[in-house]
Amino acid sequence: MEDIDTPRVVPGSADEILRALQRYGLEWDGEVLWQSRRTARYEEALDRLRAAGIVYDCACSRADLHRAASAPVDAEAVYPGTCRHGLPPGRPARAVRFRSPEATIAFDDLVCGRVEEDVARQTGDFVVRRADGLFAYQLAVVVDDAEQGVTQVVRGADLLASTARQIALQQALGYPTPSYAHVPLVTNADGSKLGKRDGALPLPTLDDARVRESLVAALRHIGLQSETLGEALVEFGLRRPEPPQSNAG
C-alpha cells in the first residue's frame, strides 16, 4: 500500500482500494505491506547508498531550484548540481539526492516499446529523502518491489517517466530489474488524468454483472480488447471458462 506520503493520506481510502481490488479479482500473496510502516527498510537502503557515495545531502529549496532552472517553472527542471560537491557555506542539509549515473538507461516496455533515458542529463540528481524527512516514492517502491520478489510491474503510463530513475536505483542497490508494462490512462479532453476531482465516479463493487461490465469497458477504452479480453476476465476470476462440448449422442 503506497501510503509513504502520510500527510496526504485520506483516512479510509486504503481500505476502499483493497476492497475494490478484491472485488475485481486481484489478489495478493501474503500480508499487505504498508510503506508508512517500512521506514527502517528504506533507511537501511539509504545507508547502503551513502556508504557507497551514491547519495549526498542537499540544501536547495524549491525557490532555489526555480531560480536556477533553465526550464519553465511549470516544467520538471533538471537539477543543476548545486550541492553535488558539498553544501554551500552556512546552508543546512534539507533533502538527500541520488547521484544519477552518466549513462543511458534502456528498457523494453511491454506496451510502450523501447524506452531510453539519460537520467543525469534529462533529470539530474533526484531526491530520495525529502526535506520533511519522508522517503521519496522512487526509493520506497524500488525497495518494496525487490523485497517482495516482484518480477512484473503493470501500472499507468503516468509513471513511465519514473522508470529509468527506479532502474538506476535498482542497479545501485544490486536489485534485479522487473519487466514493465505501462498502460494508457483515461484522460480528460485536455489530456490530463481523469480523477475524482473531475467528477469521475468510483468503481462499482457490489454487483457481479456491473463488475464485469465496467472491467470490459475500461479495458476497451484504453485499447486492450479483442481476443485478449476474454482471457483477462478468466485470469481475473470474473468469468469461468466454458465447459468443453460433448460429442456423445
Domain ranges of the chain: 1-9+28-146
181 contacts 153 by C-beta, under 8 angstroms: yes
| Residue, of 23 and 230, whose pLDDT is higher | 23
219/233 Cα distance (integer angstroms): 10
155 contacts 112 by C-beta, under 8 angstroms: no
Phi, psi angle pair for 211, to nearest 5°: -60, -50
CATH class name, domain 1-9+28-146? alpha beta
Q: What angle do CA 22, 10, 19 make, to 5 degrees?
A: 10
- Give the residue-averaged pLDDT of 10-39: 88
Average pLDDT over the chain, rounded to an integer? 84
Residues 6+ apart with CB under 8 A from 32: 1, 18
Residue 242 pLDDT > 50: no
- Give the residue-averaged pLDDT of 209-234: 66
The CA-atom distances, in angstroms, between 31 and each of 48, 79, 100, 152, 223 are 26, 38, 33, 19, 33
Which residues on neighbouring strands pair with residue 228, listed in sequence order? Answer: none
Which residues on neighbouring strands pair with residue 193, listed in sequence order? Answer: 187
User: Model confidence at 199, in pLDDT bands (50, 70, 90)?
Assistant: low
| Residue, of 248 and 18, whose pLDDT is higher | 18
Grid coordinates of 179? 519487466
Q: Where are the alpha helices (DSSP H) in the chain?
A: 13-23, 39-51, 62-68, 119-122, 137-147, 163-173, 208-221, 228-235
89-137 confidence digits (pLDDT tens): 999 999 999 999 999 999 999 888 999 999 999 999 999 999 999 999 9
Residues 6+ apart with CB under 8 A from 157: 111, 112, 182, 183, 184, 185
Within 13 Å, how many C-alpha atoms sit on residue 206's CB side?
1
Please tell me the pTM assigned to this model.
0.82
Residue 231 pLDDT > 80: no
pLDDT recorded at residue 229: 46
Residue 70 pLDDT > 70: no
